[in-house]
Amino acid sequence: MKKLVIAIDCDDVLINASEYIVMTYNQLYGTNVQLETAHSSGNPAWQADRTEVFRRLHDIQQGEGFAAKPPRSDAIESIKRLAAHHDLHLVTARDAVIMGVTESMVATYFAGCFKGIHHVGPDNSKGEACEFIGAQVLVDDNSKHLFDALEHGVELAIWFGDYPWQTSQEFNEHIERAGDWIAAERMISEFAG
């Protein structure tokens, strides 16, 4: 088995974040944001301009409820097994303002598993981050990031989860669907040979 550099997203890959964030946002601001469209740019359901939406989201992500969310149970064991054989990097679209929340979660549940944590923010390229670290694999729930990563040299893009916002039918031979960490881990093992 060859040793791989694997980039792994955080939200909705390691922890189930979007459902909590959308539910909390709707409760706090009296909105009706739906999971199906929560990841769409300029979604009018947020009822605020982009700057204000991100400020509100950051407030939620820095709150005690979000910080206390444990990772998916299947993620913890799979990440530990993968880290024993590969170099793992957390590559997240989270903004740097919530870096402390991310680092705390990694220290608590994934100590020693990740070689680096890369906060690219909402406007920067996960593909560029993958190229910088030399990643051959990206595991992400957002096809936009997977296609970007493929353009920057990633060889295997794993589209993680089975979420309402995953409506794109765009696939190519380098994108694989994995509904959970058992499937993702199997795909990575097969790719590593």
| In contact, 6 and 157? CB cutoff 8 Å | no
> Crossing angle, helix 18-29 and helix 50-61, to 10 degrees?
110
- One domain, residues 84 and 175: yes
Number of domains in the chain: 2
pLDDT in tens, 106-116: 999 999 999 99
- One domain, residues 60 and 130: no
pLDDT of residue 170: 62
- One domain, residues 28 and 100: no
Judged against a pLDDT cut of 90, whether residue 165 lies above it is answered with: no
H or E stretch including 159?
A: strand 156-160
pLDDT of residue 169: 66
- One domain, residues 127 and 181: yes
Q: Which residues contact 54 (CB under 8 A, 6 or more apart)?
A: 95, 122
Residue whose entry in the numeric block shows the structure tokens 């890959």: 13
Residue ending a domain, choose from 67, 90, 107: 67
Judged against a pLDDT cut of 90, whether residue 70 lies above it is answered with: yes
**First-to-last C-alpha distance (Å) of the chain:** 5
Looking at every residue in the chain, the average pLDDT score rounds to 92
- One domain, residues 188 and 104: yes
For residues 166 and 178, which has the higher predicted lDDT (pLDDT)? 178
- One domain, residues 114 and 139: yes
pLDDT of residue 42: 77
pLDDT of residue 139: 98
**Length in residues, the chain:** 193
| In contact, 91 and 130? CB cutoff 8 Å | yes
Average pLDDT over residues 94-106: 91
pLDDT in tens, 36-49: 888 876 789 999 99
Q: Which domain holds residue 178?
A: 5-15+71-192
- One domain, residues 60 and 99: no
Residue ending a domain, choose from 47, 67, 87: 67
pLDDT in tens, 14-27: 999 999 999 999 99
- One domain, residues 75 and 9: yes
In 3-state terms, the chain is what percent helix, strand and coil (to 5)? 45, 15, 40
- One domain, residues 155 and 177: yes
pLDDT of residue 171: 63
- One domain, residues 101 and 151: yes
- One domain, residues 145 and 113: yes
- One domain, residues 76 and 139: yes
Residue ending a domain, choose from 29, 52, 67: 67
* pLDDT level of residue 50 (50, 70, 90 thresholds): confident
